[in-house]
Homo-oligomer: A and B are copies of this chain.
Amino acid sequence: MSDIATRLKEIVGGHTLLAGDAIPDDYWHDEELNHPPQRPAYVAKPATAEEVAQLLKAATEHQVAVTARGSGTGLSGAALPREDGLVISFERMNKVLEVDTTNQVAVVQPGVTLTELDEATAEAGLRYMVQPGELSSSVGGNVGTNAGGMRAVKYGIARHNVLGLQAVLPTGEIIRTGGKIAKVSTGYDLTQLIVGSEGTLALATEVIVKLHPRLEHSATVLAPFADFDQVMEAVPQVIASGLGPYILEYIDNLTMAALVHTQNLELGVPDQIRDSCQAYLVVGLENRTADRLDQDIERAGELLAELGAVDAYVLEGGSARKLIEARENAFWTLKAIGADDLIDTVVPRGAMPKFLEAVRGLATAAGGGAAGCGHAGDGNVHLAIFCKDPDTRKRLLTDIFALAMELGGAISGEHGLGRAKAPYWRELEDPVKVDLLHRIKLSFDPAGILNPDVIFAAERQ
């Protein structure tokens, strides 16, 4: 056994270090579509921050690449291991340490899943409002990718809901950042630097998340529109209305048809309307009283009619839940119908009509297609790209990302760059910024051991 294997085993104990053939294929990949799975050299399952610190210290000394892994549900390949690398899996660090109702925060270990956190906070009537589609994702993964999800339009993304961290630097030092406090102006904000850094700066071993009261009354309004651009133009109007929707999604007709078909949705939309519609707006409303919710639903219905909706359907409990679940599972549906890649580009919401029209043009010109849905309120467009030939697809994605950036947007709104989208970013981003980010990277990770293929080119480390 190699030196490093012996040392890693001493740190975490024999049965929580896996090596070589003993590593199950779950650890070889995340949910990114195009990279082949890769068995790492080691998987360690630490139980404490101190163990993580020792693992990182050893990895730095032996120059072993380290990939952190939560639930492995990422879509950009940030949890794809290296052949000669060490995966640090946080599956044993999965405790909700505290639900603090006075400060409305929870303190959790990174391996806690969103489902587990939801259960732990339910009794107190509170909730962590970052709800990306995949609720088996971990809080640590949320921190890594700066996760978003449907509720972001009201409650913000991980960045706005992660208040503090315990984190381990690649050199093995353990730091604490932020706290159970909503504001701080005392030195640079390390919490926000680590959030969204995709395991390239430091590994979170404890996360303080903000909780919000669960509002008791909610409803989902589904509005079909004959014209795609009308949906896009309706979005800023709904935001400006003061209704404060907690969900504001668009779903194009191809995607809706796939969702309805694969998930047996009953939405009550007559066939003739469905056939004549290019897209749907989904408006989630919630309030602390039933009366106010009823008023808001009525106002939303009127507003949507004014904005050109063909009709507006208020979905009852079961069908509303099923639609939202289907939307959350859109990834799996689009994958099942043969999507070749998935992107989650973000643009200013006012630029969505222009962006989507241009994307359709680019996709058609490339002999492919693009369909999807998205967090319309945030300008975060999730598109399935249909284009078999890898070179053509690469050119198509480059064109799409370049366009988004030209419009003032960015390559990813919530999935992150990972391995999959990072090469596009390096090609399209201002080299001054790429260099600056790399210097920041080195200020945390001078040996370049943390996820060396993610964000930056591996040869730079």
Q: Which residues of A contact B (CB under 8 A)?
A: 100-105, 145-148, 152, 156-157, 159-160, 169, 173, 175-177, 179-190, 192-193, 195-197, 201, 213, 215, 236, 239-240, 242, 288, 292, 346-350, 375, 378-380, 408-417, 421, 425, 429-430, 432-433, 436-437, 439-444, 455
Contact = CB atoms under 8 A, between A and B. Distances in A.
**What 5 A-B pairs have minimum CB-CB distances, sorted nearest first?**
A102-B350, A439-B443, A180-B348, A192-B192, A242-B288
A437 B187 CA distance: 8
Contacts of A350: 100, 102-103, 180
Number of copies: 2
A187 B429 contact: yes
Contacts of A439: 443-444
Contacts of A242: 213, 215, 288
Nearest to A292: B292
B185 A145 contact: yes
- Please report whether the interface of chain A is mostly helix, strand, loop or mixed according to DSSP: loop
A348 B179 contact: yes
A168 to B, nearest CB: 11
A414 B179 CA distance: 15
25 contacts: A101-B236, A102-B348, A102-B349, A103-B348, A145-B185, A146-B184, A156-B160, A159-B192, A169-B436, A173-B432, A175-B436, A176-B430, A180-B348, A180-B350, A182-B379, A183-B413, A184-B412, A185-B196, A186-B410, A186-B411, A187-B425, A187-B455, A188-B196, A193-B440, A440-B443
Given A102-B236, A236-B102, A183 B425 contact: no
